[in-house]
Structure 1
Amino acid sequence: MDLAIWAGGRLRAPDEPVLTAVDHGLTVGDGVFETCAVRHGAAFALTRHLARLQTSARGLGLPPLPMDEVREGVRAVLDAAGEHAGRLRITVTGGPAPMGSHRYAPDEQRPTVVVVAGPATATDVARVVRVPWVRNERSPLAGLKTTSYGENVVALARARAHGADEALLADTRGRLCEGTGSNVFVETGGELLTPALETGALAGITRELLLLWGSQAGLPVREARPDELPWEVLDDVVGGTAHLALTGSIRNVTPVVSLDGTDLAPGPLSVAAHRLFLARLDDDVDP
């Protein structure tokens, strides 16, 4: 495997253990993470990703993150991975803790930092399915990027079993929310709309940049009003009167060409957003 792994202050071999058996990230999913694309040897939009990492940690109740350690790990794995790097993942957990869900006292907590760089494969289009499970927009984890990812694993497995590469979820109020690892944009009424964060959707970095860059370029793209994108809007997509695109750190902006096994034509605004994002990528590695 072309992986560069950093933990505990140094680079590690791919088969070298890096976590204790009682690390809270392992036992109860008490941790946060970020995934960045790597372009020309640098982590894309790293400043934005690190800011979100800290936001997720605060929301989860973790102590202040050791950011100097995180940045040291990022530098080390990118140097070690070289041209093989296409993706960077930063994981910070609560560290060694009791076997239950409770934590040690704040002054006893020792976060675990693991940084990994490796290859990535991006595609120009996406195939999606609807799944019967929902995001709980009232969950204490709503909008946080945590290692408690079991729901996404199950939903993505359903998608792959049906020949798709992403699953779409509603929130508990029946509003379109997001994918397991992506934000969604609906092309409807001459606009590109992305669900409001009120639905529990993650504040994606690519989502954020598309809203910014699209607005600067005159593309009609915006965040929807909270109830503007009901789950049923996906029926319009199947019927051909609306279109979809997904955004994510590795996929960038990808028009959807299949929903629940029905082939779809990419929408013109979705294609324009895809092209705009690719054109802007090399303007600034840390926009």
Structure 2
Amino acid sequence: MIPVAWIDGALQDPASPALAPIDHGVTVGDGVFETLEVRQGAAFALTRHLHRLAYSAERMMLKGLDLDLVRRGVGEALAEAGDEATRVRITVTSGPGPMSSVRGEGPLRVIVIVAGGPAPARCRAVRSPWRRNERSAVAGVKSTSYAENAVMAAYAASKGADEAIMANTHGHLCEGTGTNVFLEKDGEIVTPPLASGCLAGITRGLLLEWGARSGIPVRVAAPGELEMSVLDDVLQGEAHLAVTSSTRGLQHVEILDGVELAPGRLLERLSGVYTAAADADLDPAPPRSK
């Protein structure tokens, strides 16, 4: 399908110029974004994604984000796109700025793109030679400053893979370039804690909630519990590995560092729980703040 573009309140030709050459989203990657799955014609878990968008904007000190406007943009773009839509991308930039890291005074730019195409059908991963800095100013933020991830993804592609899994600066298992990671080991499923520097993935959160509700032993690991060396256990068949994202759902890692892997039974069960629950509730309420 031809992508649908909604920018700052109106549908626009996706091929027409939309951003100023001096937009800080282009010149320094000064912005935030969300990618959503289209499920049954709706943007899945839209409210949760908007909450995370607001969190990312707050962490980036981007002021003036109108979530009602973003929600309207998603709805209008989806209505225009029709049945072939499979994903939504929301991007917010700080707008035009000077040729430096200092921001300008302009309003935020809001861009919604709806596109088609299949989701990734399989996952083949490698271990990244680079590490995630859990102390970065944008750790855990869905920032458009994505060059670090792009380099790792290019490295993975050079090795015949489509995802790279990284440690943090302490050598603890963290995340993939565009995914969270889940491990099945010793009769339970664990995922790295947010303290590792990983993104608070929407799918990650739902899997933890829905899995626990279904009686599946799934939990967040304690800080430092999962060393990167746990992937050696995966290679030896003593543990199983899966990645999660909005477009992948929960997906078995078929190959890690060139070694074929068997799926974990608990992970397969958790994947089924997620699919059924997502089909039944297209906009699950965010968890209550404590």
> Are the counterparts in 2 of residues 245 and 255 from structure 1 also a CA contact under 8 Å?
yes
What code does the residue aligned with 2:64 have? P
> Are the counterparts in 1 of residues 41 and 78 from structure 2 also a CA contact under 8 Å?
yes
Match of 2:143 in 1: 146
Distance 1:262 1:189 in 2: 21
Match of 2:287 in 1: none
**CA shift at 1:158, angstroms?**
1.2
Distance 1:191 1:164 in 2: 27
What code does the residue aligned with 2:81 have? A
What code does the residue aligned with 2:71 have? R
> Are the counterparts in 1 of residues 64 and 108 from structure 2 also a CA contact under 8 Å?
no
**CA shift at 1:98, angstroms?**
1.2
What code does the residue aligned with 1:100 have? S
**CA shift at 1:282, angstroms?**
1.0
Residues 59-68 or 167-176, more deviating: 59-68
**CA shift at 1:254, angstroms?**
0.5
Which of 187, 190, 194 is the equivalent residue of 2:191? 194
Match of 2:6 in 1: 6
Match of 2:226 in 1: 229
What whole-Å deviation, never above 9, does each CA across 1:232-276 have from its counterpart, x for those lacking one?
000010011011011100000011111001001011111111111
What whole-Å deviation, never above 9, does each CA across 1:83-127 have from its counterpart, x for those lacking one?
1111001000001111100113xxx33101100001142245421
Q: Are positions 1:255 and 2:252 aligned together?
A: yes
Which of 134, 143, 149 is the equivalent residue of 1:137? 134
What code does the residue aligned with 1:185 have? F
| % identity of equivalent residues | 54
3-state SS of paired residue (2:83): helix
Distance 2:5 2:64 in 1: 23
Distance 1:132 1:100 in 2: 30
What TM-score does the superposition give when structure 1 sets the normalisation length? 0.96
3-state SS of paired residue (1:50): helix
Distance 1:230 1:167 in 2: 16
3-state SS of paired residue (1:73): helix
Distance 2:235 2:169 in 1: 22
The 1:142–1:256 alpha-carbon spacing in structure 2 relative to 1, beyond 3 Å, is same
Match of 1:277 in 2: 274
Distance 1:243 1:280 in 2: 23
What TM-score does the superposition give when structure 2 sets the normalisation length? 0.95
Instruction: Give the length in aligned residue pairs.
Output: 284
> Are the counterparts in 1 of residues 64 and 107 from structure 2 also a CA contact under 8 Å?
no
Distance 1:128 1:137 in 2: 21
> Are the counterparts in 2 of residues 126 and 258 from structure 1 also a CA contact under 8 Å?
yes
**CA shift at 1:68, angstroms?**
2.7
Matched ranges for 1:1-287 at <5 A:
1-104=1-104, 108-123=105-120, 125-287=122-284
**CA shift at 1:228, angstroms?**
0.9
The 1:218–1:124 alpha-carbon spacing in structure 2 relative to 1, beyond 3 Å, is farther
3-state SS of paired residue (1:132): coil
3-state SS of paired residue (2:145): coil
What code does the residue aligned with 1:26 have? V
> Are the counterparts in 2 of residues 2 and 84 from structure 1 also a CA contact under 8 Å?
no
**CA shift at 1:20, angstroms?**
0.2
Residues 70-79 or 178-187, more deviating: 70-79
Distance 1:181 1:270 in 2: 19
> Are the counterparts in 1 of residues 88 and 114 from structure 2 also a CA contact under 8 Å?
yes
4+ residue runs of structure 1 moved beyond 4 angstroms? none
3-state SS of paired residue (2:280): coil
For structure 1, the residue ranges without an aligned partner over 5 or more in a row are: none
Distance 1:42 1:117 in 2: 11
> Are the counterparts in 2 of residues 8 and 18 from structure 1 also a CA contact under 8 Å?
no
3-state SS of paired residue (2:65): coil
3-state SS of paired residue (2:58): helix
For structure 2, the residue ranges without an aligned partner over 5 or more in a row are: 285-290
